C-alpha cells in the first residue's frame, strides 16, 4: 500500500471516530434539558464511556497506522500498547469527571455574570466540544509517543494538515520537525495528522522553508508589514509553543493564559 493511501485511510478513519464521538457527546449535552449541579453525574454516566471508547479507538487506529508505516521502513513492527497510558486520566493527569464538569461551570459562570441563558448554554456546549476534541487528539499524540519508543528507526515527528480549513498555528507547525519523545504541540480542537519519520541526519527545526515563507507573506498581506527577524512584526505574538499544565505543549498566542480555578465564579 502506498504511503499516500495509508495516510488517507487513516485520516478518514480518525475523522469517523471524531464525528461519531462528538456527535453523541453533543446530543447527550443537548438532551439534558437541565444543567444544574444535580445533572452533572447524569451527564457523566452517559458521556464518559463514549469519550473513553472514542479515545481508545483513536489510539488503536494510530498504533495500527504506525505499525504499517514502520513496515515500509524496517520491514517489521510489533506494538504492545497499554491503553491506560494513552487514554482517560493519563491524558491530563486529572480525573475525567472533573474535566467534564467544566462545561457546566462555564454555564454557571456565564449566568452569574448575567449572560442570557441561551448564550450561557452555547458557551458550555463550546467548552465541551473543545475539551472532547482536545482529548481525542491527545489520545493520538500520546500513542505516537508511546509507540515511537518501540520503533528505533523513527527519530522525529512531523504534522500534516488534515482539515478543509487549517489555522495559521497548524500551518506554521507543519513546517517544523519535533523529536519523537516530545508530544506534538497542539491547540484545542487540532486534528492534524502526526507522523513518525526517519532521517539519516537532523534536517533542522524548519523542514519546509518555502511553506513558511508563504505563511509569512500572508501575514504581510493581512497586516501590511512583516519582518522575518521579528522586529517590525513580533512573530512570537502570532504563534508560540507554550506549556499547558494538563495537556502538555499547546500552540497559542503570546500572553495567552489558561483558565484556572480562581477564574471561575460559581453560583452560591
C-alpha cell at 81: 500498547
Question: How many CB atoms are closer than 10 A to CB 116?
Answer: 10
Measuring CA to CA, which residue among 132, 108, 105, 264 is closest to residue 190? 132
Question: How many CB atoms are closer than 10 A to CB 202?
Answer: 10
Cα 122 to Cα 110: distance, rounded to the nearest angstrom: 10
What is the structure's pLDDT at 264?
36
Residues pairing with 206 in the sheet: 176
What is the structure's pLDDT at 231?
59
What is the structure's pLDDT at 112?
97
Q: What is the 3-state secondary structure (H, E, C) of 11-68?
A: HHHHHHHHHHHHHHHHHHHHCCCCCCHHHHHHHHHHHHHHHHHHHHHHHHHHHHHHHH
What is the structure's pLDDT at 1?
60
C-alpha cell at 131: 475539551
- Rounded to a whole number of angstroms, the distance between the first and last alpha carbons of the chain is 60
Global confidence as pTM: 0.83
What is the structure's pLDDT at 233?
66
What is the structure's pLDDT at 163?
62
- Per-residue pLDDT of the chain in tens (268 residues, 90 and over written 9): 676 788 889 989 999 999 999 999 999 999 999 999 999 999 999 999 999 999 999 999 999 998 888 877 776 667 789 999 999 999 999 999 999 999 999 999 999 999 999 999 999 999 999 999 999 999 999 999 888 887 877 888 888 887 656 777 788 888 888 888 777 767 777 778 888 887 776 778 888 888 888 877 877 776 777 776 655 666 666 666 777 788 887 777 666 665 554 443 333 3
Cα 57 to Cα 115: distance, rounded to the nearest angstrom: 38
Cα 203 to Cα 185: distance, rounded to the nearest angstrom: 19
What is the structure's pLDDT at 165?
61
Question: How many CB atoms are closer than 10 A to CB 224?
Answer: 9
What is the structure's pLDDT at 226?
72
What is the structure's pLDDT at 234?
64
Amino acid at each position: 500500500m502506498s504511503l499516500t493511501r495509508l495516510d488517507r485511510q487513516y485520516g478518514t478513519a480518525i475523522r469517523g471516530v471524531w464525528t461519531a464521538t462528538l456527535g453523541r457527546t453533543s446530543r447527550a449535552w443537548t438532551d439534558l434539558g437541565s444543567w444544574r449541579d444535580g445533572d452533572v453525574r447524569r451527564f457523566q454516566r452517559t458521556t464518559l464511556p463514549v469519550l473513553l471508547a472514542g479515545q481508545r479507538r483513536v489510539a488503536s487506529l494510530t498504533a495500527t497506522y504506525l505499525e504499517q508505516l514502520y513496515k515500509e521502513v524496517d520491514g517489521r513492527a510489533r506494538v504492545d500498547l497499554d491503553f491506560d497510558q494513552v487514554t482517560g486520566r493519563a491524558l491530563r493527569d486529572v480525573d475525567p469527571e472533573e474535566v467534564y464538569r467544566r462545561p457546566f461551570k462555564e454555564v454557571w459562570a456565564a449566568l452569574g455574570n448575567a449572560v442570557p441563558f441561551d448564550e450561557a448554554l452555547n458557551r458550555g456546549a463550546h467548552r465541551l466540544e473543545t475539551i472532547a476534541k482536545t482529548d481525542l487528539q491527545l489520545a493520538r499524540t500520546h500513542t505516537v509517543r508511546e509507540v515511537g519508543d518501540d520503533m528505533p528507526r523513527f527519530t522525529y515527528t512531523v504534522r500534516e494538515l488534515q482539515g478543509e480549513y487549517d489555522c495559521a498555528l497548524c500551518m506554521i507547525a507543519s513546517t517544523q520537525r519535533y523529536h519523537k519523545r516530545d508530544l506534538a504541540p497542539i491547540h484545542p480542537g487540532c486534528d492534524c495528522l502526526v507522523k513518525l519519520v526517519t532521517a539519516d541526519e537532523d534536517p533542522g527545526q524548519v523542514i519546509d522553508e518555502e511553506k513558511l515563507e508563504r505563511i509569512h507573506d500572508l501575514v504581510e498581506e493581512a497586516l501590511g508589514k512583516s519582518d522575518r527577524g521579528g522586529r517590525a512584526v513580533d512573530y512570537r505574538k502570532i504563534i508560540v509553543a507554550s506549556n499547558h499544565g494538563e495537556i502538555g505543549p499547546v500552540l497559542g498566542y503570546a500572553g495567552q493564559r489558561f483558565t484556572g480555578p480562581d477564574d471561575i465564579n460559581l453560583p452560591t
